[in-house]
Structure 1
Amino acid sequence: MTIEAADAPGTDRAEKLTAAPMAGDAGFLLAKLHAAGSVLNNRALAGFGLKERSFSVLALAACGLEPTQREMAEFLSLDPSQIVALIDELEGRGLVMRAPGKQDRRAKTVTTTEAGDAVFRQATSAAREAEAAALARLSVEEAGQLKTLLRKALWG
């Protein structure tokens, strides 16, 4: 799957509006980049039967940290019911499985199955291509700096 640079953020026809004062607001800029990136991500992940949110859950399940459903909900800023629905979908496809937590058996951890690991590896490649398209106007160094600054703003 190839992501076209023309689909990257900032290539829309309303470029004259970049002179508007709101075009300098961090909240607006983050929302706009997220919206454009989501379109690219969802397009790239469609071939795997995934969308951005389901891929995020799959990625957390595959990370080796055995997150609980609650931890996933908090980390992804989603309602717990949304996480349950996403996990149900992935579990129904045989990509993830729930298990009792090691610390609290009432908490359910989520991990990938062998099939889930395979889909995750393939989808990750498509997601990286989508990210590159979303950040196409930045150099590799600038993209790295952006990610560093975003992580710092979020978690210090």
Structure 2
Amino acid sequence: MSRNDGPGPEVSARLGYLLKHAQLRMNELSTRALASLGVNGRELAVLLVLAGDEPASQQQAAQRLGVDRTTMVALLDTLEDKGLVSRHPHAEDRRRNVVELTAAGQDVLERGTRASDEAEREFLAPLDPQTARQLRAALRTLVNQPPPRSGRAGEAVQ
């Protein structure tokens, strides 16, 4: 292998590089797995959030996924256009839109979850099961950290 093949050890050992390229690979596998269903991974995530026991509002779904309202409205517009969700005013608070899966949405959710699970198995296949569980646990710990505080060390943040 020549020095010009790949990014080299100085880059390929960096955490940012590794996370980015792992995410790109996972996205590639998920996109391929979900293509026949007509949804992408982000849309599947919305369906998963909406599949809870009680109907969710647009705002609740946005909060659970950590996206802004404008992005959530665009995602729901797309899913509604595909016939996968329906929106209607809340019975007690007409300012609030309730979003529910349609029968087609429930079907895509079930099949999409299976397809996504298979893509994850393929992604994690090079790892033994214990290492794959540890990777998930470590990433969950990192993702669930509170957002970093702004300001310099030792300064109070207002």
Q: What TM-score comes out, normalization by structure 1 length? A: 0.75
One-letter amino acid of the counterpart of residue 51, structure 1: N
Q: CA deviation at 1:17?
A: 4.1
Q: CA deviation at 1:105?
A: 4.7
Q: CA deviation at 1:63?
A: 3.3
Check conservation: 1:64, 1:111, Cα contact below 8 A. Answer: no
Q: Provide the identity percentage.
A: 35
Task: Determine the structure 2 residue equivalent to 1:142.
Answer: 131
RMSD between aligned residues: 2.5
Q: Distance in 2 between matches of 1:70 and 1:107?
A: 8
Task: Determine the structure 2 residue equivalent to 1:35.
Answer: 24
Q: Distance in 2 between matches of 1:143 and 1:65?
A: 32
Q: Distance in 2 between matches of 1:147 and 1:118?
A: 27
Unpaired stretches in structure 1, ≥5 consecutive residues: 1-15
**SS in structure 1 of the partner of residue 87 of structure 2:** strand
Seen in structure 2, the aligned counterparts of structure 1 residues 102 and 151 have a Cα distance that, compared at 3 Å, is farther
How many matched pairs?
Answer: 141
1:66-145 correspondence to structure 2 within 5 Å:
66-100=55-89, 105-145=94-134
Q: Which whole-Å deviations, capped at 9, do the CAs of 1:93-149 have from their partners, x for residues lacking one?
A: 221122445896533332212221111111111111111111121122222221111
Check conservation: 2:49, 2:64, Cα contact below 8 A. Answer: no
Larger Rg: 2
Name the stretch that deviates more: 123-132 or 86-95.
86-95
**SS in structure 1 of the partner of residue 100 of structure 2:** strand
Seen in structure 2, the aligned counterparts of structure 1 residues 105 and 27 have a Cα distance that, compared at 3 Å, is farther
Q: Distance in 2 between matches of 1:63 and 1:142?
A: 30
Name the stretch that deviates more: 71-80 or 46-55.
71-80
Unpaired stretches in structure 2, ≥5 consecutive residues: 146-158
Check conservation: 2:87, 2:100, Cα contact below 8 A. Answer: yes
One-letter amino acid of the counterpart of residue 81, structure 2: G
Q: What TM-score comes out, normalization by structure 2 length? A: 0.74
